[in-house]
Amino acid sequence: MHLVVEVEGHRAFTTGLRALAAHVTHALHRVMGRGGRVLASRTHARALRTPTEVRNVLRYVLRNRTHHIPADVALDPFSTAPFFDDWASLDLHPPPPHTGRGRERADAPPRTWLLCGGYRPYRP
Q: Do 91 and 102 share a domain, yes or no? A: yes
Give me the number of domains the chain comprises.
2
Q: Are residues 59 and 111 in the same domain?
A: yes
Structural domain harbouring 80? 46-124
Q: Are residues 50 and 35 in the same domain?
A: no
Q: Is residue 62 domain-shared with residue 84, that is, in the same domain?
A: yes
Asked if 62 and 18 sit in the same domain, the reply is no
Q: Are residues 83 and 38 in the same domain?
A: no
Classified as helix, coil or strand, 109 is coil
**Is pLDDT larger for residue 99 or for residue 12?**
12
Are residues 124 and 84 part of one domain? Answer: yes
71 with 119, same domain: the answer is yes
Listed in order, strand segments (DSSP E) in 15-108 are none
Residue 75 and residue 103 in one domain: yes
Band (pLDDT 50/70/90 cuts) for residue 97 is low
- Please report the pLDDT score of residue 68 as a whole number: 77
Q: Are residues 41 and 63 in the same domain?
A: no
Rounded distance, CA 60 to CA 67, Å? 9
Euclidean distance between CA atoms 116 and 124, whole angstroms: 19
pTM of the model: 0.76
Q: Is the same domain home to 93 and 121? A: yes
Same domain, 33 and 53: no
Domain closes at, from 25, 45, 65: 45
What local confidence, expressed as pLDDT, does residue 55 receive?
92
Polymer length in residues for the chain: 124
